[in-house]
Amino acid sequence: MTDTAIEAADLTLAYGRRREPALRGCSFRLATGRVCALVGPNGAGKSTLLALAAGLLRPTSGRLAVLGTTPAAARPRVAYVAQDKPLHPGLSVAETLRLGAELNAGSWDAALAAQVAADGELDPGARVRSLSGGQRTRLALALALGKRAELLLLDEPMADLDPLARNRLMGTLMAEAAEHGTTVVMSSHIIGELADACDHLLLVSGGRVRLGGGIDDLVHAHALVTGTGRVADLARHTVVESRATGRGLTALIRTDGPVDPAWDVEEPSLEELLLAHLRAPDAPALITPGTTPTRAVAA
């Protein structure tokens, strides 16, 4: 047994020799049992990272361990839902679930898979090619949950679901993860959805990990300060982003010690933290203690 779900050390992936790497020098550790939000702008490398962890791509350089072994060896214990939710178009809903049962004999949770499909009123006889985008997503999630994997890798899993379906499926996912200690890594552009569900964050931008760690730890490491002072007055801290506002200056800082009481200090919301880092891609990265790779993988 390992207490580490994913561990990356200097992980780099280039799709072709002449292309800029999609991921470059990424190092982080995700403990088991965490629900991790994978966030970043379009083209940041999120899908690439998930495909690497699913064992569908091989790193160009660097190391990646999944559940204490190689991504390929971990595949039976991992469920991956790709962004385009690939399924066999000619199979019916019932045949797709039967195939899930056959491919995962021994671990298949038929009741859960059937419940996820039935909650969306999927007609068991309907062909996959006749399903809507949201219905296909639901079927893909039914397969992933039915597998009872130790690690769920979900690439924008809720993107084409209606708000009610999204809310209910997220609830099912979180309840299952909590009951079974499943690790979840979920990419999404909807920060509100992630803030409610996730306890861990990986922010990827330009192929690099900008923030990695427990959401509470990352939020506590920052402060949103407002005042009439100058940016230079905040020099002892790391200023991630600063803006002139009606009240003078507002800055998101990574604190190094107490902040001068001349500033109004608030804890940022997750959204404020993420938006500031997305607007300031050159701000120094922060990977919190305990979420850096261990020596075994880094070596």
Ligand X SMILES: Nc1ncnc2c1ncn2[C@@H]1O[C@H](COP(=O)(O)OP(=O)(O)OP(=O)(O)O)[C@@H](O)[C@H]1O
By the criterion CB under 6 A, which residues form the site for ligand X? 15, 22, 40, 42-48, 83
**Minimum CB distance to ligand X, residue 21 (Å):** 8
Q: Which CB atom, from 43 or from 86, has the smaller least distance to ligand X?
A: 43
Q: Which CB atom, from 122 or from 211, has the smaller least distance to ligand X?
A: 211
Q: How far apart are CA 265 and CA 224, in angstroms?
A: 6
**Minimum CB distance to ligand X, residue 77 (Å):** 23
Q: Which CB atom, from 12 or from 238, has the smaller least distance to ligand X?
A: 12
Q: What residues form DSSP beta bridges with 28?
A: 8
**Minimum CB distance to ligand X, residue 245 (Å):** 30
Q: How far apart are CA 24 and CA 76, in angstroms?
A: 27
212 C-beta neighbours (distance < 10 Å), count: 24
Contact call for residues 117 and 138 (beta carbons, < 8 A): yes
**Minimum CB distance to ligand X, residue 45 (Å):** 4
**Minimum CB distance to ligand X, residue 158 (Å):** 14
Question: What letter does residue 202 receive in the DSSP assignment?
Answer: E
- CA distances (Å), 156 to each of 83, 96, 189, 233, 299, in order? 6, 21, 8, 41, 32
Q: What is the token pair recorded at 80?
A: 């991956």
Q: What residues form DSSP beta bridges with 277?
A: none
**Minimum CB distance to ligand X, residue 145 (Å):** 22
Could you tell me which of 76, 25, 39 has the C-alpha nearest to residue 55?
Answer: 76
Q: Which CB atom, from 120 or from 212, has the smaller least distance to ligand X?
A: 212
Q: Which CB atom, from 100 or from 207, has the smaller least distance to ligand X?
A: 207
- CA distances (Å), 129 to each of 89, 99, 132, 158, 283, in order? 4, 16, 8, 19, 45
**Minimum CB distance to ligand X, residue 240 (Å):** 21
Q: Which CB atom, from 48 or from 92, has the smaller least distance to ligand X?
A: 48
Q: Which CB atom, from 43 or from 89, has the smaller least distance to ligand X?
A: 43
Helix, coil or strand: residue 96: helix
DSSP string over 265-296: EEPPPHHHHHHHHHH-TTSPPEE-TTSSPPHH
Q: What is the token pair recorded at 109?
A: 């949770």
Question: Residue 133 carries which side chain, given as an amino acid letter?
Answer: G
Q: Which CB atom, from 3 or from 42, has the smaller least distance to ligand X?
A: 42
**Minimum CB distance to ligand X, residue 71 (Å):** 16
